[in-house]
Amino acid sequence: MKIKNICCIGAGYVGGPTMAVIAQKCPEINVTVVDINENRIAAWNDQDVENIPIYEPGLSKIVEEAKDRNLFFSTDVDAAIDKADMIFISVNTPTKTYGIGKGMAADLKYIELCARQIARVSTTDKIVVEKSTLPVRTAEALKNILDNTGNGVNFQILSNPEFLAEGTAVDDLLNPDRVLIGGDIDTDKGRDAVQALVDVYSHWVERDNILTTNVWSSELSKLTANAFLAQRVSSINAMSELCEKTGADVNEVAKAVGMDSRIGSKFLKSSVGFGGSCFQKDILNLVYIAKSFGLNEVADYWEQVIIMNDHQKRRFASNIVKTLFNTVSGKKIALLGWAFKKDTNDTRESAAIYVADYLLNEQAEIVVYDPKVKKEQVYADLDYLNSRSEKENRQRVSVVNDPYTCTKDSHAVAVMTEWDEFKELDWKKIYNEMLKPAFLFDGRRLLERDTKEEIGFEFYAIGS
Protein backbone atom coordinates (compact mmCIF):
# COMPACT_ATOMS: atom_id res chain seq x y z
CA MET A 1 0.00 0.00 0.00
CA LYS A 2 1.54 3.32 -1.09
CA ILE A 3 0.56 6.41 0.84
CA LYS A 4 -0.09 9.45 -1.37
CA ASN A 5 -2.03 11.76 0.90
CA ILE A 6 -1.54 12.32 4.59
CA CYS A 7 -3.78 14.41 6.80
CA CYS A 8 -2.74 15.45 10.30
CA ILE A 9 -5.40 16.73 12.69
CA GLY A 10 -3.76 19.18 15.10
CA ALA A 11 -1.21 21.79 14.02
CA GLY A 12 0.49 22.12 17.40
CA TYR A 13 3.94 21.43 18.81
CA VAL A 14 3.81 17.83 17.59
CA GLY A 15 1.64 17.94 14.46
CA GLY A 16 3.40 20.96 12.91
CA PRO A 17 7.06 19.89 13.20
CA THR A 18 6.39 16.18 12.58
CA MET A 19 4.46 16.80 9.39
CA ALA A 20 6.96 19.40 8.18
CA VAL A 21 9.71 16.78 8.40
CA ILE A 22 7.60 14.05 6.74
CA ALA A 23 6.80 16.48 3.90
CA GLN A 24 10.44 17.47 3.53
CA LYS A 25 11.63 13.85 3.42
CA CYS A 26 8.78 12.45 1.31
CA PRO A 27 8.28 14.90 -1.56
CA GLU A 28 5.92 12.52 -3.37
CA ILE A 29 3.43 12.53 -0.45
CA ASN A 30 1.01 15.41 -0.01
CA VAL A 31 0.77 16.37 3.65
CA THR A 32 -2.09 18.55 4.89
CA VAL A 33 -2.10 19.72 8.50
CA VAL A 34 -5.49 20.86 9.73
CA ASP A 35 -6.66 22.59 12.87
CA ILE A 36 -9.81 24.24 14.14
CA ASN A 37 -7.71 27.09 15.52
CA GLU A 38 -7.85 29.62 12.69
CA ASN A 39 -5.16 31.88 14.14
CA ARG A 40 -2.73 29.00 14.37
CA ILE A 41 -3.33 27.96 10.76
CA ALA A 42 -3.03 31.58 9.61
CA ALA A 43 0.34 31.82 11.38
CA TRP A 44 1.58 28.60 9.71
CA ASN A 45 0.51 30.12 6.38
CA ASP A 46 2.19 33.48 7.04
CA GLN A 47 4.34 34.54 4.07
CA ASP A 48 7.22 35.14 6.46
CA VAL A 49 8.22 31.73 7.87
CA GLU A 50 9.73 33.44 10.92
CA ASN A 51 6.11 34.01 12.02
CA ILE A 52 5.09 30.34 12.26
CA PRO A 53 3.36 29.75 15.60
CA ILE A 54 5.96 27.41 17.05
CA TYR A 55 9.53 28.36 17.74
CA GLU A 56 11.95 25.46 17.18
CA PRO A 57 15.52 25.85 15.92
CA GLY A 58 15.64 24.86 12.21
CA LEU A 59 11.88 24.52 11.76
CA SER A 60 11.25 27.68 9.72
CA LYS A 61 13.72 26.52 7.09
CA ILE A 62 12.03 23.15 6.65
CA VAL A 63 8.61 24.76 6.45
CA GLU A 64 9.94 27.20 3.86
CA GLU A 65 11.22 24.33 1.73
CA ALA A 66 8.09 22.18 1.80
CA LYS A 67 5.20 24.62 2.21
CA ASP A 68 2.94 24.90 -0.84
CA ARG A 69 5.02 22.17 -2.51
CA ASN A 70 3.65 19.17 -0.62
CA LEU A 71 2.99 20.68 2.81
CA PHE A 72 -0.27 22.53 3.37
CA PHE A 73 -1.99 24.06 6.38
CA SER A 74 -5.76 24.40 6.38
CA THR A 75 -8.87 24.75 8.54
CA ASP A 76 -10.90 22.56 6.17
CA VAL A 77 -10.71 19.40 8.26
CA ASP A 78 -13.39 17.47 6.33
CA ALA A 79 -11.71 17.98 2.95
CA ALA A 80 -8.32 16.85 4.25
CA ILE A 81 -9.79 13.74 5.91
CA ASP A 82 -11.71 12.82 2.77
CA LYS A 83 -8.62 12.99 0.57
CA ALA A 84 -6.21 11.19 2.89
CA ASP A 85 -5.10 7.53 2.89
CA MET A 86 -3.47 8.03 6.27
CA ILE A 87 -4.72 10.32 9.07
CA PHE A 88 -2.57 11.28 12.04
CA ILE A 89 -4.44 12.38 15.15
CA SER A 90 -2.19 14.87 16.90
CA VAL A 91 -4.63 16.82 19.04
CA ASN A 92 -4.12 17.76 22.68
CA THR A 93 -4.90 15.27 25.44
CA PRO A 94 -4.82 17.40 28.60
CA THR A 95 -5.58 16.28 32.13
CA LYS A 96 -9.32 16.23 32.86
CA THR A 97 -10.54 19.27 34.78
CA TYR A 98 -14.00 17.90 35.57
CA GLY A 99 -15.93 14.78 36.52
CA ILE A 100 -14.53 11.30 37.09
CA GLY A 101 -10.73 11.28 37.05
CA LYS A 102 -10.59 15.07 37.45
CA GLY A 103 -6.98 16.23 37.87
CA MET A 104 -5.57 12.84 36.83
CA ALA A 105 -7.10 11.06 33.83
CA ALA A 106 -6.45 12.19 30.27
CA ASP A 107 -9.32 14.13 28.73
CA LEU A 108 -10.05 12.24 25.53
CA LYS A 109 -12.88 14.44 24.27
CA TYR A 110 -10.74 15.94 21.47
CA ILE A 111 -9.67 12.46 20.39
CA GLU A 112 -13.24 11.21 20.31
CA LEU A 113 -14.40 14.24 18.31
CA CYS A 114 -11.70 13.47 15.73
CA ALA A 115 -12.77 9.82 15.55
CA ARG A 116 -16.40 10.76 14.99
CA GLN A 117 -15.46 13.29 12.33
CA ILE A 118 -13.23 10.78 10.53
CA ALA A 119 -16.03 8.18 10.64
CA ARG A 120 -18.61 10.64 9.30
CA VAL A 121 -16.50 11.99 6.46
CA SER A 122 -14.62 8.91 5.23
CA THR A 123 -15.86 7.20 2.09
CA THR A 124 -12.64 5.26 1.42
CA ASP A 125 -10.46 3.01 3.60
CA LYS A 126 -8.15 4.87 5.98
CA ILE A 127 -5.22 4.19 8.23
CA VAL A 128 -5.72 6.18 11.41
CA VAL A 129 -2.54 6.88 13.37
CA GLU A 130 -2.55 7.82 17.04
CA LYS A 131 0.20 10.43 17.29
CA SER A 132 -1.16 12.01 20.48
CA THR A 133 -0.07 10.43 23.76
CA LEU A 134 -2.94 8.25 24.92
CA PRO A 135 -3.89 5.90 27.74
CA VAL A 136 -3.16 2.26 26.96
CA ARG A 137 -6.09 0.65 25.10
CA THR A 138 -7.43 3.88 23.58
CA ALA A 139 -7.11 2.29 20.14
CA GLU A 140 -9.87 -0.09 21.15
CA ALA A 141 -12.26 2.79 21.83
CA LEU A 142 -11.23 4.52 18.60
CA LYS A 143 -11.89 1.36 16.59
CA ASN A 144 -15.27 1.00 18.22
CA ILE A 145 -16.34 4.52 17.30
CA LEU A 146 -14.95 4.32 13.77
CA ASP A 147 -16.53 0.97 12.99
CA ASN A 148 -19.90 1.75 14.56
CA THR A 149 -20.44 5.25 13.21
CA GLY A 150 -18.58 4.97 9.88
CA ASN A 151 -19.82 4.41 6.34
CA GLY A 152 -18.75 0.77 6.13
CA VAL A 153 -15.17 1.55 5.05
CA ASN A 154 -12.20 -0.22 6.63
CA PHE A 155 -10.19 1.53 9.33
CA GLN A 156 -6.82 0.31 10.54
CA ILE A 157 -5.54 1.88 13.73
CA LEU A 158 -1.87 2.36 14.46
CA SER A 159 -0.14 3.79 17.49
CA ASN A 160 2.88 5.92 16.61
CA PRO A 161 3.75 7.96 19.69
CA GLU A 162 6.03 10.93 19.28
CA PHE A 163 9.26 11.09 21.28
CA LEU A 164 10.51 14.51 20.15
CA ALA A 165 11.59 16.96 22.82
CA GLU A 166 10.66 20.60 22.42
CA GLY A 167 13.69 22.79 21.77
CA THR A 168 15.37 20.00 19.78
CA ALA A 169 12.29 18.82 17.86
CA VAL A 170 13.78 19.11 14.38
CA ASP A 171 16.93 17.24 15.26
CA ASP A 172 14.95 14.59 17.15
CA LEU A 173 12.65 14.09 14.16
CA LEU A 174 15.50 13.91 11.66
CA ASN A 175 17.60 11.55 13.80
CA PRO A 176 15.23 9.70 16.11
CA ASP A 177 16.64 7.17 18.61
CA ARG A 178 13.75 5.00 17.43
CA VAL A 179 10.38 5.25 15.74
CA LEU A 180 7.71 3.14 17.40
CA ILE A 181 4.76 1.75 15.46
CA GLY A 182 2.11 -0.39 17.11
CA GLY A 183 -0.49 -2.15 15.01
CA ASP A 184 -2.74 -5.15 14.66
CA ILE A 185 0.13 -7.43 13.68
CA ASP A 186 -2.04 -10.55 13.88
CA THR A 187 -3.97 -9.73 10.69
CA ASP A 188 -2.89 -9.14 7.06
CA LYS A 189 -4.60 -5.77 6.92
CA GLY A 190 -3.00 -4.73 10.19
CA ARG A 191 0.46 -5.77 8.98
CA ASP A 192 -0.08 -3.88 5.68
CA ALA A 193 -0.99 -0.74 7.59
CA VAL A 194 2.11 -1.04 9.77
CA GLN A 195 4.23 -1.54 6.65
CA ALA A 196 2.70 1.55 5.00
CA LEU A 197 3.83 3.70 7.92
CA VAL A 198 7.22 1.98 8.09
CA ASP A 199 7.64 2.94 4.40
CA VAL A 200 6.96 6.60 5.19
CA TYR A 201 9.63 6.72 7.91
CA SER A 202 12.06 4.60 5.88
CA HIS A 203 12.59 7.63 3.64
CA TRP A 204 15.08 8.82 6.25
CA VAL A 205 15.16 6.48 9.27
CA GLU A 206 17.22 3.24 9.27
CA ARG A 207 14.92 0.20 9.26
CA ASP A 208 16.64 -1.12 12.41
CA ASN A 209 15.53 1.99 14.27
CA ILE A 210 11.87 1.46 13.42
CA LEU A 211 10.30 -0.80 16.04
CA THR A 212 6.99 -2.51 15.39
CA THR A 213 4.94 -3.88 18.28
CA ASN A 214 1.37 -4.62 19.20
CA VAL A 215 -0.80 -1.55 19.80
CA TRP A 216 -0.95 -1.81 23.58
CA SER A 217 2.83 -2.03 24.00
CA SER A 218 3.24 1.03 21.82
CA GLU A 219 0.66 3.08 23.71
CA LEU A 220 2.11 2.09 27.07
CA SER A 221 5.73 2.64 26.00
CA LYS A 222 5.13 6.35 25.51
CA LEU A 223 3.72 6.80 29.01
CA THR A 224 6.56 4.70 30.38
CA ALA A 225 9.25 6.71 28.58
CA ASN A 226 7.91 10.00 29.94
CA ALA A 227 7.56 8.55 33.43
CA PHE A 228 11.19 7.33 33.40
CA LEU A 229 12.51 10.67 32.11
CA ALA A 230 10.58 12.69 34.66
CA GLN A 231 11.61 10.27 37.40
CA ARG A 232 15.29 10.99 36.68
CA VAL A 233 14.67 14.72 37.07
CA SER A 234 12.81 14.24 40.34
CA SER A 235 15.53 11.87 41.56
CA ILE A 236 18.32 14.38 41.00
CA ASN A 237 16.15 17.20 42.34
CA ALA A 238 15.57 15.22 45.54
CA MET A 239 19.36 14.99 45.85
CA SER A 240 19.74 18.74 45.20
CA GLU A 241 17.99 19.53 48.48
CA LEU A 242 20.22 17.12 50.36
CA CYS A 243 23.28 18.68 48.68
CA GLU A 244 22.27 22.11 49.93
CA LYS A 245 22.16 20.80 53.50
CA THR A 246 25.41 18.81 53.40
CA GLY A 247 27.91 20.81 51.35
CA ALA A 248 27.81 18.37 48.44
CA ASP A 249 27.25 19.85 45.00
CA VAL A 250 24.52 18.35 42.85
CA ASN A 251 26.42 18.91 39.59
CA GLU A 252 29.39 16.99 40.95
CA VAL A 253 27.15 14.22 42.24
CA ALA A 254 25.32 14.03 38.89
CA LYS A 255 28.60 13.79 37.02
CA ALA A 256 29.98 11.08 39.27
CA VAL A 257 26.77 9.08 39.14
CA GLY A 258 26.17 9.61 35.41
CA MET A 259 29.59 8.24 34.45
CA ASP A 260 28.35 4.84 35.58
CA SER A 261 27.39 3.33 32.23
CA ARG A 262 24.43 1.57 33.85
CA ILE A 263 23.02 4.97 34.80
CA GLY A 264 24.17 7.29 32.00
CA SER A 265 24.69 11.04 32.10
CA LYS A 266 21.60 12.40 30.35
CA PHE A 267 18.63 13.91 32.15
CA LEU A 268 20.49 14.33 35.41
CA LYS A 269 20.43 18.12 35.50
CA SER A 270 18.95 19.54 38.65
CA SER A 271 16.62 22.50 38.24
CA VAL A 272 13.69 24.38 39.68
CA GLY A 273 11.51 21.48 38.46
CA PHE A 274 10.37 20.06 35.16
CA GLY A 275 7.61 21.71 33.18
CA GLY A 276 6.16 21.19 29.74
CA SER A 277 2.82 19.90 28.63
CA CYS A 278 3.67 16.21 28.85
CA PHE A 279 5.52 14.88 31.89
CA GLN A 280 3.01 15.83 34.52
CA LYS A 281 -0.09 14.96 32.54
CA ASP A 282 1.30 11.65 31.32
CA ILE A 283 2.40 10.54 34.80
CA LEU A 284 -0.94 11.55 36.31
CA ASN A 285 -2.56 9.54 33.57
CA LEU A 286 -0.35 6.56 34.37
CA VAL A 287 -1.22 6.88 38.05
CA TYR A 288 -4.90 6.98 37.16
CA ILE A 289 -4.64 3.90 34.96
CA ALA A 290 -2.76 1.98 37.66
CA LYS A 291 -5.38 2.96 40.25
CA SER A 292 -8.21 1.94 37.96
CA PHE A 293 -6.71 -1.57 37.90
CA GLY A 294 -6.37 -1.49 41.70
CA LEU A 295 -2.57 -1.28 41.50
CA ASN A 296 -2.21 1.17 44.36
CA GLU A 297 1.49 0.61 45.05
CA VAL A 298 2.31 1.17 41.38
CA ALA A 299 0.21 4.34 41.41
CA ASP A 300 1.83 5.67 44.61
CA TYR A 301 5.31 4.96 43.27
CA TRP A 302 4.82 7.12 40.17
CA GLU A 303 2.82 9.82 41.92
CA GLN A 304 5.84 10.57 44.07
CA VAL A 305 7.62 11.90 40.95
CA ILE A 306 5.01 14.65 40.71
CA ILE A 307 5.00 15.33 44.45
CA MET A 308 8.78 15.82 44.36
CA ASN A 309 8.50 18.16 41.38
CA ASP A 310 5.88 20.34 43.06
CA HIS A 311 8.04 20.45 46.17
CA GLN A 312 11.05 21.62 44.14
CA LYS A 313 9.16 24.56 42.62
CA ARG A 314 7.70 25.55 45.98
CA ARG A 315 10.97 25.33 47.84
CA PHE A 316 12.74 27.48 45.23
CA ALA A 317 10.09 30.19 45.66
CA SER A 318 10.00 29.94 49.45
CA ASN A 319 13.79 30.17 49.56
CA ILE A 320 13.56 33.52 47.74
CA VAL A 321 11.15 34.80 50.38
CA LYS A 322 13.26 33.49 53.27
CA THR A 323 16.48 34.89 51.85
CA LEU A 324 14.96 38.31 51.27
CA PHE A 325 14.56 38.68 55.05
CA ASN A 326 11.27 36.78 55.15
CA THR A 327 9.29 39.25 53.11
CA VAL A 328 8.98 40.12 49.44
CA SER A 329 5.93 42.33 49.93
CA GLY A 330 6.22 45.30 47.58
CA LYS A 331 9.65 44.12 46.38
CA LYS A 332 10.47 43.88 42.71
CA ILE A 333 11.59 40.40 41.68
CA ALA A 334 12.95 39.94 38.15
CA LEU A 335 12.31 36.60 36.45
CA LEU A 336 14.64 35.80 33.57
CA GLY A 337 12.84 33.27 31.40
CA TRP A 338 9.25 32.10 31.29
CA ALA A 339 9.36 29.20 28.77
CA PHE A 340 9.51 25.74 30.36
CA LYS A 341 12.95 25.20 28.80
CA LYS A 342 15.27 26.96 26.39
CA ASP A 343 14.76 27.06 22.61
CA THR A 344 10.99 26.86 22.77
CA ASN A 345 8.19 29.40 23.20
CA ASP A 346 6.05 26.78 24.96
CA THR A 347 5.16 27.77 28.53
CA ARG A 348 2.78 24.98 29.50
CA GLU A 349 3.40 23.89 33.11
CA SER A 350 6.54 26.02 33.23
CA ALA A 351 8.06 26.27 36.71
CA ALA A 352 8.20 30.06 36.23
CA ILE A 353 4.39 30.26 36.37
CA TYR A 354 4.21 28.58 39.77
CA VAL A 355 7.16 30.48 41.22
CA ALA A 356 5.62 33.77 40.07
CA ASP A 357 2.26 32.78 41.54
CA TYR A 358 3.85 31.92 44.88
CA LEU A 359 5.71 35.23 44.99
CA LEU A 360 2.59 37.18 43.99
CA ASN A 361 0.76 35.54 46.89
CA GLU A 362 3.54 36.99 49.05
CA GLN A 363 2.72 40.40 47.53
CA ALA A 364 5.84 40.71 45.38
CA GLU A 365 5.96 42.78 42.18
CA ILE A 366 7.09 40.59 39.29
CA VAL A 367 8.89 41.62 36.11
CA VAL A 368 9.42 39.02 33.40
CA TYR A 369 11.74 38.85 30.42
CA ASP A 370 11.81 35.91 28.00
CA PRO A 371 13.33 36.11 24.52
CA LYS A 372 10.54 34.09 22.87
CA VAL A 373 7.44 34.32 25.02
CA LYS A 374 4.87 37.03 24.33
CA LYS A 375 3.35 39.23 27.02
CA GLU A 376 -0.20 37.92 26.43
CA GLN A 377 1.03 34.38 27.08
CA VAL A 378 2.49 35.30 30.47
CA TYR A 379 -0.82 36.86 31.52
CA ALA A 380 -2.82 33.95 30.11
CA ASP A 381 -0.70 31.49 32.12
CA LEU A 382 -1.24 33.40 35.37
CA ASP A 383 -4.95 34.02 34.72
CA TYR A 384 -5.41 30.29 34.14
CA LEU A 385 -4.41 29.57 37.75
CA ASN A 386 -7.29 31.72 39.00
CA SER A 387 -5.27 32.84 42.02
CA ARG A 388 -6.29 36.50 41.65
CA SER A 389 -8.20 38.75 39.27
CA GLU A 390 -6.95 39.32 35.73
CA LYS A 391 -6.73 43.00 36.58
CA GLU A 392 -4.47 42.34 39.52
CA ASN A 393 -2.19 40.10 37.46
CA ARG A 394 -1.72 42.98 35.02
CA GLN A 395 -1.12 45.48 37.81
CA ARG A 396 1.48 43.42 39.63
CA VAL A 397 3.27 41.68 36.78
CA SER A 398 5.01 43.46 33.95
CA VAL A 399 6.53 41.81 30.92
CA VAL A 400 9.40 43.61 29.21
CA ASN A 401 11.42 43.18 26.01
CA ASP A 402 14.85 43.65 27.45
CA PRO A 403 16.72 41.84 30.26
CA TYR A 404 18.24 45.02 31.70
CA THR A 405 14.88 46.76 32.02
CA CYS A 406 13.70 43.58 33.74
CA THR A 407 16.44 43.52 36.34
CA LYS A 408 16.84 47.28 36.94
CA ASP A 409 15.82 48.37 40.46
CA SER A 410 14.98 44.81 41.49
CA HIS A 411 15.68 43.28 44.90
CA ALA A 412 16.32 39.87 43.38
CA VAL A 413 16.83 38.21 40.02
CA ALA A 414 15.79 34.60 39.44
CA VAL A 415 16.93 32.60 36.41
CA MET A 416 13.93 30.46 35.47
CA THR A 417 14.84 29.23 31.95
CA GLU A 418 18.30 28.15 30.78
CA TRP A 419 18.41 30.43 27.71
CA ASP A 420 22.03 30.63 26.48
CA GLU A 421 21.82 34.42 26.21
CA PHE A 422 21.48 34.75 30.00
CA LYS A 423 25.05 33.50 30.39
CA GLU A 424 26.32 36.34 28.23
CA LEU A 425 24.48 39.20 29.97
CA ASP A 426 26.48 42.09 31.39
CA TRP A 427 26.11 40.93 34.98
CA LYS A 428 28.18 43.82 36.31
CA LYS A 429 25.71 46.30 34.82
CA ILE A 430 22.81 44.27 36.24
CA TYR A 431 24.41 44.30 39.68
CA ASN A 432 25.06 48.04 39.56
CA GLU A 433 21.44 48.79 38.71
CA MET A 434 19.88 46.53 41.37
CA LEU A 435 18.97 47.34 44.96
CA LYS A 436 21.49 46.05 47.52
CA PRO A 437 22.09 43.46 48.74
CA ALA A 438 21.61 42.14 45.20
CA PHE A 439 20.24 38.60 45.33
CA LEU A 440 20.65 36.23 42.40
CA PHE A 441 18.82 32.87 42.36
CA ASP A 442 19.87 30.41 39.68
CA GLY A 443 17.09 27.88 39.18
CA ARG A 444 18.91 26.19 36.31
CA ARG A 445 22.55 25.95 37.38
CA LEU A 446 23.28 28.16 34.38
CA LEU A 447 25.62 30.76 35.86
CA GLU A 448 29.10 30.57 37.36
CA ARG A 449 29.08 31.20 41.07
CA ASP A 450 32.63 32.63 41.38
CA THR A 451 32.26 35.43 38.86
CA LYS A 452 28.87 36.44 40.24
CA GLU A 453 30.08 36.52 43.83
CA GLU A 454 33.13 38.52 42.74
CA ILE A 455 30.79 41.16 41.29
CA GLY A 456 29.04 41.28 44.64
CA PHE A 457 25.89 39.21 44.19
CA GLU A 458 24.43 37.16 47.03
CA PHE A 459 24.28 34.03 44.92
CA TYR A 460 22.04 30.99 45.41
CA ALA A 461 22.00 28.04 43.03
CA ILE A 462 19.86 24.91 43.21
CA GLY A 463 21.81 22.04 44.72
CA SER A 464 24.90 23.77 46.04
Residue 219's SS3 state is: helix
Q: Are 219 and 138 in contact (CB under 8 A)?
A: yes
Considering the complex, what minimum distance in angstroms separates the CB of residue 107 from ligand NAD? 10
Q: Is 172 in the site for ligand NAD (CB under 6 A)?
A: no
Considering the complex, what minimum distance in angstroms separates the CB of residue 120 from ligand NAD? 12
Annotated binding residue 456: no
Nearest to 271 by CA among 251, 246, 247: 251
Binding positions for ligand NAD, 94-123, rule CB under 6 A: 110, 113-114
Q: How far is CA 464 from CA 82, 282, 367, 438, 451, in A?
A: 58, 30, 26, 19, 16
Binding positions for ligand NAD, 333-352, rule CB under 6 A: none
Query: Stretches 90-98, 326-334, 335-343, 391-399: which one binds ligand NAD (CB under 6 A)?
Result: 90-98
Sign of the torsion formed by the C-alpha atoms of 307, 313, 314 and 318 = positive
Contacts of 107 (CB under 8 A, 6+ apart): 93, 94, 95, 96, 97
Nearer to ligand NAD, 13 or 459 (CB): 13
What interhelical angle do 250-258 and 215-246 show, nearest 10? 130
Query: Stretches 29-37, 145-153, 263-271, 375-383: which one binds ligand NAD (CB under 6 A)?
Result: 29-37
Q: Are 337 and 417 in contact (CB under 8 A)?
A: yes
Catalytically annotated residue among 7, 26, 243, 278: 278
Question: 406 an active-site residue?
Answer: no
Considering the complex, what minimum distance in angstroms separates the CB of residue 117 from ligand NAD? 7
- The distance of Cα 18 from the centroid of its chain, to the nearest Å, equals 14
Annotated binding residue 341: yes
Annotated binding residue 388: no
Annotated binding residue 13: yes
Q: What is the DSSP string of 73-101?
A: EES-HHHHHHH-SEEEE----PBP-SSTT
Considering the complex, what minimum distance in angstroms separates the CB of residue 323 from ligand NAD? 34
Q: With left for phi above 0 and alpha for psi between -120 and 50, is residue 335 left, alpha or beta?
A: beta
Contacts of 51 (CB under 8 A, 6+ apart): 43
Residue window 230-269: x/- pattern of binding to ligand NAD, with contact defined by CB under 6 A = ----------------------------------------
Annotated binding residue 15: yes
Nearer to ligand NAD, 33 or 359 (CB): 33
Pick the binder of ligand NAD from 23, 91, 335, 360 (CB under 6 A).
91
Considering the complex, what minimum distance in angstroms separates the CB of residue 164 from ligand NAD? 6
Nearer to ligand NAD, 77 or 430 (CB): 77
CA–CA distance, 352 with 375 (Å, rounded to integer): 14
Annotated binding residue 449: no
Residue 347's SS3 state is: coil
Residue window 67-86: x/- pattern of binding to ligand NAD, with contact defined by CB under 6 A = ----------x---------
Q: Are 3 and 86 in contact (CB under 8 A)?
A: yes
What does the H/E/C string look like for 33-80?
EECCCHHHHHHHCCCCHHHCCCCCCCHHHHHHHHECCCEEEECCHHHH
Annotated binding residue 269: yes
Query: Stretches 6-14, 176-184, 392-400, 418-426: which one binds ligand NAD (CB under 6 A)?
Result: 6-14
Nearer to ligand NAD, 347 or 464 (CB): 347
Binding positions for ligand NAD, 277-296, rule CB under 6 A: 277-278
Sign of the torsion formed by the C-alpha atoms of 245, 249, 251 and 253 = negative
Long-range contacts of 288-296 (CB under 8 A, 24+ apart): 288/101, 288/104, 288/105, 288/106, 288/135, 289/135, 289/136, 289/223, 291/104
Annotated binding residue 271: yes
Considering the complex, what minimum distance in angstroms separates the CB of residue 49 from ligand NAD? 18
Binding positions for ligand NAD, 39-58, rule CB under 6 A: 40
Annotated binding residue 95: yes
CA–CA distance, 12 with 35 (Å, rounded to integer): 8
Q: Is 12 in the site for ligand NAD (CB under 6 A)?
A: yes
Sites of contact with ligand NAD (CB under 6 A): 9-15, 34-37, 40, 77, 90-93, 110, 113-114, 132-133, 162, 164, 166, 277-278
Active-site residue list: 278
Known binding-site residue numbers for NAD(+): 10-15, 35, 40, 91-95, 132-133, 166, 278-281, 348
Known binding-site residue numbers: 10-15, 35, 40, 91-95, 132-133, 162-166, 222-226, 262, 269-275, 278-281, 340-341, 348, 444
